[in-house]
Amino acid sequence: MSAGPKPAITLVTLESCNHFVGDIERGVKLYQQGGIEYQEREPYGWWANVPYGNEYRSVALSFSRDGQELRKYYCTCTQGYGNPPVCRHVVAAVLAIQGGIVPTRLALGQSATAQTTVTTYNTAQAVGSGQLDVFATPMLIALMEQAACMCLADKLASEETSVGVKIDVEHTAASPLGAVITATATIAVVTGRKIKFSVEAHDGQRTVGKGTHTRVIVDASRFMAKISDA
């Protein structure tokens, strides 16, 4: 049996999972107290016994192939839950298995903005997405993606970049020539290298668009080499 990669789960990824309020912090304290026994039972799959008072809690975990996502988890304290939350024992077991807290510059709630003015160059008529001189939906989406990129700009390693993989946006109001559009992207969920943003755009008076956008962090050189080999 070949061993899978060592897990590398960040606290922000654990916070993005369904979890008991306060149990991320309590799990860190449990890990720091030590005494956690664990073993890899199959590639990407582990079990652990976590001391809790005078008892132990049994935890089963499975990770993604790159070790950065928590795919499945079970703890005896949450048995019977249809959608079990991440409890303190799961958090403690993850940290013990990977040998500590993985540093990250990402945090839920971080945001950035991008701004543009509606001109004859970014209207629906100009870009071919309609016939009117109003801000084009493709340009609204591009502005939201720009805000998301700016949100990650100073949080990635020098060899990393992010690529957009999904966007679901509702364009709720038309914006005329001269309107100033501001898009805001806020980190809502972090799952390994996958970042989900809530995105919203305003024209100074009202919301003109909102939705969600997902980006994935990649190694820029490897990504481009993969495209060249395709």
* Residues 98-149: tens digit of each pLDDT: 999 999 999 999 999 999 999 999 999 999 999 999 999 999 999 999 999 9
In the set 19, 171, 202, 213, the catalytic residue is: 171
- The number of helix segments (H) and strand segments (E) in the chain equals 6, 9
Catalytic residue among 15, 76, 113, 137: 137
- Whole-structure pTM value: 0.90
Please list, residue by residue across 45-67, b when 16 or more beta carbons sit within 10 angstroms of its beta carbon and e when fewer do.
ebbbbbbeeeebbebbbbbbeeb
In a domain, 175, yes or no: yes
Q: Indicate if 182 belongs to the active site.
A: no
Which residue from 29, 74, 20, 84 is spatially nearest to 51, judged by alpha carbons?
29
Q: How far is CA 110 from CA 116, 150, 163, 184, in A?
A: 21, 11, 18, 10
Q: Is residue 1 one of the residues assigned to a domain?
A: no
Structural domain range at position 188: 111-229
Among 19, 69, 145, 184, which one carries the catalytic annotation? Answer: 145
Q: Closest Cα partner for 45 from 24, 27, 28, 70?
A: 70
Q: State the total domains in the chain.
A: 2
Query: How many Cβ atoms are within 10 Å of 122's Cβ, its own excluded?
Result: 21
Q: Are residues 64 and 172 in the same domain?
A: no
Report yes or no on 94 lying in a domain: yes
d(CA 198, CA 169): 10
Q: What is the CATH number of the domain that holds 194?
A: 3.10.129.10
* 141 and 71 share one domain: no
Based on the domain organization, do 126 and 179 belong to the same domain?
A: yes
Does the annotation count 171 as an active-site position?
A: yes
119 an active-site residue?
Answer: no
pLDDT band at 80 (very low <50, low <70, confident <90, very high): confident
Residues 131 and 154 in one domain: yes
